[in-house]
Chain A
Amino acid sequence: MASTTRTPHPREKRIIFKNIDRPGWTNDIECYLHDGGYEELKKAFTMKPEQIVNEVKASGLRGRGGAGFPCGVKWGFIKPGGSKPVYLICNADESEPGTFKDRYIIHQDPHQLLEGMIISCYAVNARLAYIYIRGEFPEGAKILEHALAEAKEQGFLGKNILGSGFDLEIYVFRGAGAYICGEETGLIESMEGKRPYPRIKPPYFPAVLGLYMCPTIVNNVETLCNVKHIVRIGGAEYAKMGKPNNTGTRLLCVSGDVQQPGYYEFEVGGITIGELINDICGGMKPGRTLKAVIPGGSSAKVLNAKDRYKIKAKQPDGTTVELEMGLEDIPIDFDTLAAAGSMAGSGGVIVMDDTRDMVWALNNINEFYAHESCGQCTPCREGSLWMKKITERMLHGGGVEQDTDTLKTVADNIAGRTICAFGEACAWPTQSFIDKFRDEFAATAGKKGSENGSTNH
């Protein structure tokens, strides 16, 4: 159980992670207040809620949970002066494989999250809010409950917060091991005490018909933390970080076959995949070469290190140019990764070297999605299980020649045919692994019985 704390790399720009692993830092409110904590909340109360919404819009902040939807636009769906109460839910169900950022905020800097959340509640006029934390974070839930009690004692929660006339209660809700609860409408169903079957959109956009059929904002932990900093420096100043349409900083979680995996924070697009691997994470393990990268959590499409990527990039003058680059030259931002055929997703970068068997890797991912499909929609419930059965059989020497095509057909018949994006999340790995490593799949499918030596599991 080696130590996992790290000093920040000089190339990092730590804003959200400023206090993570900071010497002398503790997660209690005294430490946070001593460091200027809750000053942005005081500042927020000098502003009108709409002003804060406008600052968040101006900041260009995009959701950090996976979809990258503009936060200010989401908030803008809440119409002021509506007759129904508004709720805000912090999505702390961090469960996309490869992602491990919210854990550190919750454990080490819970008041940053609470401050961002209270400001956000004020901005959208939510008087009751919940933090939906995954069940596997029992310590995190205790830390948050303690932090909430501390904040309440200091008058940052409860009735008439800091004399503003604004009332707010926040409670912690614990999940119980289901990935689907990270999907915002599944999360809402879960919070209503039902099975977390996602709702169909339209009509059930959370901002219109969310928790208890009332307007509801669901934001990721990292997104809510960003709000505090947008209030501090202003939306326009925030938007100067990163690049147009990809503003601010991004927490990147690196795992897999690099020398120094870990969590890092950079300006969005401020670093390429190659720089991240080689300069920040110490490169590949000795004697190994890069084979593949999953750039945004396990549902993001895998990228092959041998491929060239044609990327349409928008220039500052508004014109578009087509650039061709290798995997290592791709900057990590929302738009470029989307143009490269994958996504920035949740910021979980999984690196694989030349020793990795791609059928084995896909089978591992397939088992995850087969287990986590909620079972509501037939294509996903059945398809995710069949994809897993096929890759598992291939690994154990029971493959047949058509397996590669069958897998692709199954995946193609899930994506776009389900109520929620889980359908895409489970189809994209299979589609992309086959697209990028077809020869390897064909070779494995052709091997019989004990011929296949790569299956140690």
Chain B
Amino acid sequence: MDIPAELETKIDEAITQYPVSKRSATLPLLHLIQEQLGYIDEAAIEWVAKKLGLEPINVLELVTFYPMIRREPAGKHHIRVCRTLSCAMAGSYELLDTFCKYARIDRQHNGHGTHLLKSEDGKYSIEFVECLASCGFGPVCMINDDFYEAVSQEEVPQLLEKYQ
């Protein structure tokens, strides 16, 4: 697997933050690789294992556990809508539907543990996530790393406009 030199420098620096056990750097490395390459494939799992002196299963068991680590590419822009109680009371189910409508994503078969929902052109992917910790200002969502509070359905088209 080809890891760009700049990324490997970041990776080496991250490992120094765990002087007691390199294994602690597994999740940080997965974050770094996913940020750059979009998802974690078999080659990335083996690369991380080798880098940290672990068995691939040690890495795989984290990849399959943590909801934020992806095994397939997301859309160019990834949308997360909060599903949990306060946001649901504020209309997050309707917000998810509206995002799907304007991003042209087929919402069928959505749910935890299923594949990411993506638009056909690959521009957007969407998922329902659990509590994003801004419950007073629901419904909330994230687009990539950007965070939005009190999002009305009417705002969805202009919001998507920002992410081309």
A interface residues (Cβ-Cβ under 8 A, vs B): 1-2, 4, 94-100, 102-103, 128, 134-139, 171, 173-179, 190-196, 211-212, 253-257, 261-263, 298, 348, 350, 352, 356, 361, 364-365, 367-368, 371-372, 374, 456-457
Q: Is the CB of A94 within 8 A of B62?
A: no
> With an 8 A cutoff between CB atoms, is B47 at the interface?
no
B interface residues (Cβ-Cβ under 8 A, vs A): 17, 19-21, 23-28, 30-31, 52, 54, 58, 61-62, 65-69, 80, 83-86, 88-89, 93, 112, 129-138, 142, 145, 147-152, 155
Q: Is the CB of B151 within 8 A of A1?
A: yes
Cβ-closest chain A residue relative to B84: A97
Closest-CB distance, B22 to chain A (whole angstroms): 8
Closest-CB distance, B21 to chain A (whole angstroms): 6
Q: Which of B68, B84, B136, B145 contacts A364 (CB 8 A)?
A: B84
Cβ-closest chain B residue relative to A6: B136
A-B residue pairs in contact (CB < 8 Å), sample of 25 = A1-B150, A2-B149, A4-B136, A94-B133, A97-B86, A97-B131, A98-B85, A100-B133, A139-B145, A176-B30, A176-B66, A177-B67, A177-B129, A195-B61, A255-B135, A256-B86, A262-B136, A298-B131, A348-B135, A356-B89, A364-B85, A364-B88, A367-B83, A368-B131, A457-B93
CB-defined contacts of B25 to chain A, threshold 8 Å = 193
CB-defined contacts of B58 to chain A, threshold 8 Å = 193-194
16 extra interface residue pairs, beta carbon distance < 8 Å, beyond A136-B133, A262-B136: A1-B152, A2-B137, A97-B85, A136-B68, A136-B129, A176-B27, A176-B68, A177-B66, A177-B67, A177-B129, A192-B21, A195-B61, A195-B62, A211-B20, A254-B136, A256-B89
CB-defined contacts of A253 to chain B, threshold 8 Å = 135-136
Cβ-closest chain A residue relative to B24: A193
The answer to whether A98 and B21 touch (CB under 8 A), given A4-B149, A193-B62, A365-B85, is no
In angstroms, Cα B19 to Cα A374, docked, is 28
> How many A-B pairs fall under 8 Å by CB?
152
Cβ-closest chain A residue relative to B88: A364
CB-defined contacts of B138 to chain A, threshold 8 Å = 255
In angstroms, Cα B65 to Cα A371, docked, is 11
Question: Which of A4, A195, A263, A371 has the most CB atoms of chain B within a 10 A radius of its CB?
Answer: A371
CB-defined contacts of A457 to chain B, threshold 8 Å = 88, 93
In angstroms, Cα B25 to Cα A191, docked, is 8
Q: Is the CB of A371 within 8 A of B86?
A: no
CB-defined contacts of B142 to chain A, threshold 8 Å = 136
Q: Is the CB of A178 within 8 A of B66?
A: yes
In angstroms, Cα B129 to Cα A103, docked, is 17
Question: Which of A96, A136, A137, A194 has the most CB atoms of chain B within a 10 A radius of its CB?
Answer: A136
In angstroms, Cα B21 to Cα A173, docked, is 14
In angstroms, Cα B129 to Cα A193, docked, is 23
CB-defined contacts of B129 to chain A, threshold 8 Å = 136, 177
CB-defined contacts of A137 to chain B, threshold 8 Å = 133
Q: Is the CB of B150 within 8 A of A2?
A: yes
Cβ-closest chain A residue relative to B61: A195
In angstroms, Cα B135 to Cα A368, docked, is 14
The answer to whether A350 and B86 touch (CB under 8 A), given A177-B67, A178-B66, is yes
